[in-house]
Amino acid sequence: MKMKNKAAAGLLALLMAASLTACGSSSSGSTTTAAGETTAAGGTTAAAAETTTSAETTTAADTTAAAETTVSASSAAQTTGAATAGDLKTVEAGELHMATNAAFPPYESVGDDGNFEGIDVEIAQKIADKLGLKLVIDDMDFGSVVTSVQTGKEDIAMAGLTVTDERKQNIDFTDSYATAVQVIIVPENSDIKTVDDLQGKKIGCQEGTTGYLYCSDTPENGGYGEENVTAFPSGANAVQALLTGKIDCVVIDNEPAKQYVAENEGLKILDTEFVSEEYAIGVSKDNNGLLTAVNNALDELKADGTVQSIIDKYIKAD
């Protein structure tokens, strides 16, 4: 991560140390799959998750979190090299289940046609193609994304997901495929001009995100105090609260911020950036074979320009 200012350095140190689980609660009733609703107790039912892209419900594997799925090298004909060497274990045979929160454009959202779309969705599809697996997207609260992979209910976490030391304790990450910065959205006539003006203001964030952790920390640690930060189920909810004057600003990743500002009159993004972050794909610590395969596929897609062309399709140069 790259520090944008001195205050950010202190904040970031705390961000890294902060507990994500403490603020990753799941409160929205809009979760559309079974994923994330149960705990890993006993570790026996992970394969029973329903999928959103197909109506079928699979039978739970009777043993451990990851059902044994073998992808032979021949079925993964598009991949060269070692990406699929050996057996790949996924939660359901022949499928790659992606945990996401599809309310984070341009990385993931539900399009007008009802299908999932966005940078993460397209990169994940390319990875699945390379591995000879069918991509299944499981939409859930952001707060459940990491846990679902950690507990073996989902294969990969792809949700504009920032790599943090705290998350690294729970899941492994691939190499990074995108960078982001936290920014501040304010009403056009706001008296908030810089990060320093946030003291004592009512700040809105999406729950469980790095932006929330960053802002809700104590002032001694460079945050603004938990009592000044409201966690909303989605960024869109936070922006709605801003538009109705319930909060003074929203702190969120820059690309979703740009979309919210473009879609809503009277808002602007301050010219101040907090912290630069890296997005990567999360994989269970218990599935090193899948981590390697996904990482190799991602690296190939980065090397041949596919990842960049997908990003360019959704993010136009300023």
- The contact set with ligand GLN (CB under 6 A) reads 101, 104, 142, 159-162, 180, 206, 209-210, 253
**Closer to ligand GLN at the Cβ: 1 or 310?**
1
Name the residue nearer to ligand GLN (CB basis): 118 or 132: 118
- State the nearest-atom distance from the C-beta of 95 to ligand GLN, in Å: 22
- β-partners of residue 134 are 95
CA 44 to the chain's CA centroid: 25
CB of 43 to ligand GLN, least distance (A): 26
Least distance from ligand GLN to the Cβ atom of residue 73, Å: 34
Place of tokens 């909060």: 247
How many Cα atoms sit within 13 Å of 178 on the Cβ side? Answer: 26
Least Å from the CB of residue 134 to ligand GLN? 24
Q: Which ranges of 193-253 does DSSP label H, i.e. alpha helix?
A: 210-216, 235-243
Nearest-approach distance from CB 182 to ligand GLN, in angstroms: 8
Element (H, E) at 142: helix 142-150
Residue whose token pair is 């504009």: 160
Please return the burial class of 142, using the count of CB atoms within 10 Å of its CB with bins 0-12, 13-18 and 19+: buried
Q: Give whichever of 154 and 253 is closer to ligand GLN, judged by the CB atom.
A: 253
Q: Quick one: 116 or 142, whose CB is closer to ligand GLN? A: 142
In whole angstroms, what is the distance from residue 162 CA to residue 276 CA? Answer: 10
Residue 92 or 277: which CB sits closer to ligand GLN?
Answer: 277
Q: Smallest distance, Å, CB 22 to ligand GLN?
A: 13
Q: What's the Cα-to-Cα distance from 172 to each of 72, 164, 240, 289, rounded to whole Å? A: 24, 10, 34, 12
Select from 287, 288, 310 the least CA-distant residue to 127: 310
CB 186 within 8 A of CB 270: yes
Q: Please answer whether residues 192 and 201 qualify as being in contact, where contact means their C-beta atoms are separated by less than 8 angstroms.
A: yes
Smallest distance, ligand GLN to C-beta of residue 215, A: 12
- In 118-219, DSSP assigns E strands to 134-139, 156-157, 172-187, 203-206
Nearer of residues 79 and 210 to ligand GLN, judged by Cβ: 210
Amino acid in position 268: K
Of 152 and 256, nearer to ligand GLN (C-beta) is 256
